[in-house]
Amino acid sequence: MADTITCAAHPDKLCESYCLQCDVPLCRGCTMGIHQEHKRVDIVEMESIKQVKRREIEEDNAEIQDILIPQFQMENVSIEDQIAKTFIRYESIEESADVYRNDWHQEVDRIFEEYHKEIHQTRDKDIALLKNYQRDIKYSLQTMPNIVQHNTEILQSGSHTNAVIQYKSKLTALRKTLPKYEMGMSSFSTPPIQTGQGLCIEFGGIRSFLVSMSSFESLQNSMGHPTYQTRCLLERVIVKAEFSSEVDNLKHIVYNGRNEVWLSGKDGTIRHMNIHGIDLQTLEATNIKYQDIAVNSEGELIYSDYINKCVNIVRGTETEILFESEYAWHPQGIFCTKEGHILVTMRLAGDSCCKLVRYDGEKVIQEIQYDKFGNCLFSRGYKCVFLAENNNGDLCASDTNSCSLIVVNKSGDFRYRYCCDPTLRRKPFVPHHIVTDSQCHIILSDYVNNCLHIFHKDSQYLKCISHPDLDLPVALTIDNDDKLWVGLYVSGKVKVIQYMK
């Protein structure tokens, strides 16, 4: 057996020794080369080495056959199963994407139907105007030959007739009847599409944005429709997004759907912005002394005009008076209910007493001013009383004159009042704007304490939300996912905060 072993480096030469360091058989030439200083054994001892190697081979085969092959077979089956499940999962994601795709297509179709409607209406108005111009021109064209004929007859009658002496020129009048018009042709504006920047189209007074707010990860996690369930307050709030409104002294903010808000400060400008900080629309209030803003179920902006004692509505680019308040009563806080009613707090000039009025259109259907003992529910003073409607039907008011939270039921019956628990904080409780969430929590902004206060619907104080980024929080609104949009008074920044899980 031994004489059949050949050198590892020279297969045509017989092995004479074995290098233990390199673990290879050697010929005579190799023993004198690089293996000269290595530890070696002779050809006789190689038989025992060969036996060890045989046992090693047998053990390797046994482990491969008995252990590794079954393990790899099981793993292969598992991977096959994972591949099948992965196909199914991504097919489900693709189906969800197709649902969103159809929804987007429907929304785009709806948008362009509006544009076609606007284009047709604008065209009809322009054509009607042009036809009016044309009618005037045709009438003048019919009249002028008669005038020329009449003038010719006068000339032919002689130069000293009464007709010549009494002639009155109609040339100036004719010149004035020549229509002067400027037809401003509307254009369909479509800025170049930039990846990640969304789409924007504009025609006349209509402007539309289409911005993708969902990542692929969020698509994977949104296989079903949202359901309302019991949610818990987070131990620490999370700032999900922020943007700069560039509004000086940011005081008011109201959610308008699709991650968009209306917001305003002290300068009389009201801005429509989205979560990316894009300015969608800017308008000037009819009076810089407006008190509060709200959005109705149709997405129309409504704001109270304290000086002119009316509530205005913005339809498209036009501002109209929705209704006027009673004599000497000035509207302040305003809120649009799910039923389509408008709640307004009214302040009486001179007396400074306050009442809550519910409107259905222009009609007053409810007034709330006193409790069952005849005491005023709201404090005297000229600061605004802000409003919110809770999901249980309660009407909640932030009375900034008395620094208190006041809650009445839907019928206007007093439920409770919360002022301040001195043990909870060193500074006074100074509520400002107020909102409610899906859990019937009542949330108020407090710019003195740089925090937000959360109450249970039945008056228990639950939590004080504080965060290093909350610097003078005044403006406050809430979106459909129970995220708070907080406007900071001095910086003009808006923080979108998750406070429940």
| pLDDT tens track for 376-418 | 999 888 888 999 999 889 999 999 888 899 999 998 999 999 8
Task: Extract long-range pairs of 174-180: CB within 8 Å, 24+ residues apart.
Answer: 174/140, 174/143, 174/144, 174/147, 177/136, 177/140, 178/137, 178/140, 179/133, 179/136, 179/137
pLDDT of residue 449: 87
Contacts (Cβ under 8 Å, ≥6 apart) of 212: 198
The pLDDT tens digits for 22-54 are: 888 888 788 887 887 788 887 777 777 777 778
Burial environment of residue 52 by CB neighbours within 10 A (0 to 12, 13 to 18, 19 or more) = exposed
Q: At which residue do the structure tokens 């046994």 appear?
A: 62
SS3 208: strand
pLDDT of residue 222: 41
Residue 347 structure tokens: 């302040």
At 412, the amino acid letter reads G
Contact 301, 322 (CB under 8 A): no
Cα 472–chain centre separation: 23
Cα 492–chain centre separation: 17
pLDDT of residue 212: 46
DSSP 297-333: TT--EEEEETTTTEEEEEETTEEEEEEEPPTTEEEEE
pLDDT of residue 25: 86
Nearest to 469 by CA among 492, 495, 449: 495
Residue 442 structure tokens: 């009542």
pLDDT of residue 441: 94
Nearest to 154 by CA among 145, 163, 162, 143: 163
pLDDT of residue 78: 86
Q: Which residues of the chain have pLDDT under 50?
A: 1-2, 193-197, 212-228
